[in-house]
Amino acid sequence: MASTNFAYTNFTRNIASVDDLLQLHKLIVKDYPLLKDQSDELLRAIIVLTVSALDNYLHDFYRTEIVEGYLGRGNFNVQFDKIKISIDALQQLDSAFSEAEKRNYLNIELRKIQRTDSYQSARSIEDIFNKIEIKNVWSKLAKHKG
């Protein structure tokens, strides 16, 4: 459950920041009504921070799940054939003396790969879940909502 715990902990910390900003916005609107227009800029920042929190969660979740899956401890069946890592990273993994070293090398390589990935659209989010064999994520979420 490493991927779930690590990713979720970071996500909840980011969402707590969103909640703090929302409370600040409410206070400004209530106590300083003349600043309402300026305080609405906070709402834009809150939206950006919320989207960023989701994007970071998915990066952390997927990366950690790949690492844990590689080490035989993953929660999901990662499609390793869809992950392209460098020969240098393979050499580092082969020469690692401990599991912690392997975890570190693989995390570094996956961060390089994920640098340009964005998980902010419905399609990219669905794609990341497909890579760990969670199919139809949106319809599954809809069932839990209603």
Q: What is the pLDDT of residues 115-125, one digit of tens each?
A: 888 888 888 88
* pLDDT for res 118: 83
pLDDT, tens digit, for every residue of 82-119? 888 999 999 999 999 999 999 999 999 999 988 888 88
Backbone Cα Rg of the chain: 19
46 compared with 123, residue with greater pLDDT? 46
**Is residue 136 left, alpha or beta, with left meaning phi > 0 and alpha meaning psi from -120 to 50?**
left
Give the count of alpha carbons within 13 A of 65, CB side only.
22
User: Cα torsion for 42, 47, 51, 52, to the nearest 10°?
Assistant: -10
- Inform me whether the pLDDT recorded for 67 exceeds 50: yes
Instruction: For 72-87, give one letter per residue: b (16+ CB within 10 A) or e.
Output: eebebebeeeebebee
pTM above 0.95, yes or no: no
* pLDDT for res 115: 87
Enter the tokens of residue 24: 């600040």
Helix (H, G, I), strand (E, B) or coil at 120: coil
* pLDDT for res 129: 85
* pLDDT for res 145: 66
Please report, as a single letter, which amino acid is at residue 109. E
